[in-house]
Structure 1
Amino acid sequence: MPAARPAHFAVLATCLALATTTSAWAQTSKLPVTSEQRRVADQVASAGVPLSELAPNAPDQHVVKSGDTLWDISALFLKSPWRWPELWGMNRDQIRNPHLIYPGQVLMLVKVDGRATLQFARDAGGSGAGNGVVKLRPQMRISAVDSSPIPTIPLHLIQPFLTDAVVFDTDALAAAPRIVAAQEGHVVLGQGDLAYARGDFGNGTDFRIFRTARPLTDPTTKEVLGYEAPYVGTAELTRTGENRTGADGKVDIVPATMTIRQVKQEVGIGDRLAPAPARNLERYVPHAPDKAMAGQIAAVYGDSIIAGQNQIVALNRGKRDGVERGHVFALWRDGARVTDKTQERAEAIKLPDERHGILFVFEVYERVSYALIITVKEPVKPGDRFTQP
């Protein structure tokens, strides 16, 4: 068999890995790398990045450990963690798929002629041939069932949200089937209870239950961007409804019977039933937008008026504006209006706007998107501004 060319190493390695690892790892290996990320990687792959772009305390090497995220590692080596493609592009021959960095691997920072490249080492002590740097070659990778690549950001912060909220482009829930009565006169329902509902169920039998949707509006234009529907639980259609005509000619309306299967919170009369869009928990890759972009915070998720670090906010920009999952934005605080009293005549002035936080987009709809507040200095509220980082 002829020797595989270097460009084919990643393909061959992936094929071998798919035969020996879990299906979860296999799905992860197919995650996309955008053309913009490849473009940036290509720019720096041959020579690395200038030392001036490294974080002040960038380590010579780092052993990837459980609990690390791609964001954490980017922050170790680079001044700007969202410049992930450049971290990956430091040595594209070795880090061919940035989604596949595992606990136990050793990353080594190599500095030559004012430039830096990132490579894998054999171990923390640098044992092995030469300086401890090892070239990747096709090989079997046999992983334990619980072994998986490190995530981009702490997934536990957004995973509940991906079940809890859905945004509809129109107020579709207003016409969706609704719960009209409960078993034995109950006001609220729990798992296993029967509920009675009316509406057009189509051919479906499995439904998700949502509370009445609230409109998300643009802070400036007041345009309705979508309708956020809090998730309540799931229900199964166990008996269809019908209209019965009695002997006296009167028509009795008999609602459909639903069995409550799961509950996030108590189910109540008036809650709506609808199939929800499929939700994918992807390994989001941080990257800056490839064009100038700006917008405002449309709402804070939940019942809070203001938000802080690790909370979720809705943005007034979505797919139609070019927002992507993984986009990183800078948060800005409006400069205060003060009075300059240093002259004979006092004069009103406005202080400069100050950047004070970072947002990470993880869910995108047509006109609205959701972002996690990664860092922030002051509380965030609807109307606050964001831009590309």
Structure 2
Amino acid sequence: MIRKTIVLLAGLLVTVAVYAAGAQLRTDHPDNYTVRSGDTLWDISARFLVKPWLWPEIWQANPQVRNPHLIYPGDVLNLSFINGPSLRLQPSVHREGDAVPAIPLSELRTFLKDLRVLNSNEVSSAPYVVGLEENRLRGAVGQNIYVRGLQATPGQRWAIVRPSHVFRGFEQDDPGDADSRIFAHELDSNAAMVNAPWREDSRHDGQMGRGQDMGVEVTVIGTAETLRVGDPSTLLLLDSTREIRSGDRVLPIDDAPYDPYFYPHPPKSLAQDSHVIGFADALDAVGSRQVVALSVGAKDGVDNGQTFSIYRPGENIHDDVASNSWRRGVGSRVTLPDEFVGHVMVFRTFDRVSYGLVMDSLRPVHKNDKLAMPE
């Protein structure tokens, strides 16, 4: 028993040493930091860690911090260099507000509660809005909507959703081929509700309709309550973020759509050719604290909290000197190094796709930017 204890303690010491080596303190770290309302764990750790995503290791090396999620405004974090970097937490006597989250979940409501990725068949075969009260073209809160294909009971509540993107995967035979990727194809907002297979918007991508269907992204745009069952059933529209149209789909309400807490951490491995495939609230590029869709998901080992580095692929250019010519397309070419863009933290995962929040960025994030281990 004593020997087992000694071995266990030795293992813990080695683990703490590894944590201390990996989670290096910044040279300009503060000696003390008082947690304030509005802070996030990422913001706090970025103040004193070279690698903010390694903050759980610091906490795990300090057993007096029993739960790193239960840190509140008013708590004081003390840093010291006694036998390596260490952290001490002095809880405040009077705590105000909620525990500090890893990232600002309050700013992500739309992407946490109102966004889903489902199998295409699930969406295309789901009950749908067939008509609106008084034969109107658009539905508003307080009006009746009529839904076909719904198996419901009076009083049951439902989510009204609208397809927004379809994810398509292409063969991986040639890693250098642009078709060996997952693409997010925007759906034509005027036809997406009716057409299945979905009509993809030709303005943004020349590959629409091709490749393997990897799922459909739908946005929750309202909730409704069943008033009368039948075919069609009558539902009362309780709330909405957009006007409801014929063709919008009706799905069960997801009562627990996301994890309230998670640990930022590096991935154990990274699938080849992982990259940014789309944006949730932009067309061309995004920056810090905006949401991106990634080409990896739960089936690739991705879970909430995983943090990646983002790199802009180096451009392949003509080498004028090596070619001894300024003529483009003739002679030697060279690919420039990839350029670091920033970090992204995953906050919601699906089978083949995940969504992440850009935590920091030196330059804009574009589609097809690469994901890498966060070093």
Provide the TM-score with structure 1 as the length reference.
0.75
Deviation at 1:122, TM superposition (A): 7.3
Kindly tell me: are residues 350 and 52 of structure 1, through their superposed partners in 2, closer, same or farther at Cα, counting changes over 3 Å? same
Report if aligned partners of 1:44, 1:89 keep a CA contact under 8 Å in 2.
no
Change (3 A) 1:111 1:44: farther
Q: Which residue of 1 aligns with 2:275?
A: 296
Judged with a 3 Å threshold, the aligned counterparts in structure 2 of structure 1 residues 344 and 236 are, in CA distance, closer, same or farther, namely: closer
| 1:339 CA displacement | 2.7
Aligned counterpart for 1:81 among listed residues 52, 62, 74 = 52
Q: Secondary structure at the match of 2:59?
A: helix
For the Cα contact (< 8 Å) 2:152–2:226, is it kept in 1? no
1:96 counterpart = 2:85: no
Distance 2:314 2:286 in 1: 19
2:273 equivalent to 1:273: no
CA contact (8 A) 1:41 1:86 kept: no
Q: CA RMSD in A?
A: 2.6
- Deviation per residue, 1:289-309 (Å, 9 max, x gap): 123445111221145232222
Q: Would the aligned equivalents of 1:298 and 1:315 in 2 still touch at CA under 8 Å?
A: yes
Query: What pairs with 1:111-260 in structure 2 (closer than 5 Å)?
Result: 111-113=81-83, 115-121=84-90, 147-202=97-152, 205-218=156-169, 220-221=180-181, 222-242=211-231, 255-260=232-237
Displacement of 1:164? 2.2
Question: Which segment is superposed worse, 323-332 or 169-178?
Answer: 169-178
CA contact (8 A) 1:181 1:269 kept: yes
SS in 1 for 2:65: coil
CA deviation after TM superposition for structure 1 residue 47, in Å: 8.9
Q: Which amino acid aligns with 1:287?
A: H
Structure 2 unaligned runs (5+)?
1-10, 170-178, 182-210, 326-331
Question: Deviation digits for residues 233-276 of structure 1, max 9, x if unmatched?
Answer: 0111111125xxxxxxxxxxxx2211101111111111111114
Q: How many angstroms does 1:325 deviate by?
A: 0.2
Kept in 2: contact 1:225–1:316 (CA 8 A): no
Larger radius of gyration: 1
Specify the SS of the correspondent of 1:49: helix
Of the three residues 7, 16, 34, the one matched with 1:63 is: 34
User: Alpha-carbon deviation of 1:285?
Assistant: 1.5
**Large movers: runs of 4+ above 4 Å:** 40-44
Mapping 1:298-317, distance limit 5 Å: 298-302=277-281, 304-317=283-296
The 8 Å contact of residues 47 and 117 in structure 1, kept in 2 or not, is answered as: no
Aligned positions, number? 317
- 1:385 and 2:354 matched: no
Amino acid at match of 1:117: S
Contact 1:307 1:381 in 2 (8 A): yes
Tell me the residue number matched to 2:345. Answer: 360
Stretches of structure 1 lacking an aligned partner (at least 5 in a row): 1-39, 124-140, 243-254
Identity of aligned residues (%): 33
Secondary structure of the structure 1 residue equivalent to 2:102: coil
Aligned 8 A contact 1:41 1:85 in 2 = no
Distance in 1 (CA, whole Å) between partners of 2:221 and 2:234 is 18
Taking a change above 3 Å as real, the CA distance of residues 299 and 50 of structure 1, as seen in their structure-2 partners, is closer
- Kept in 1, the 8 Å contact 2:120–2:213? The answer is no
TM value normalised by structure 2: 0.77
Deviations 1:5-27 (Å, cap 9, x if unpaired)?
A: xxxxxxxxxxxxxxxxxxxxxxx
Distance 1:265 1:304, change over 3 A: same
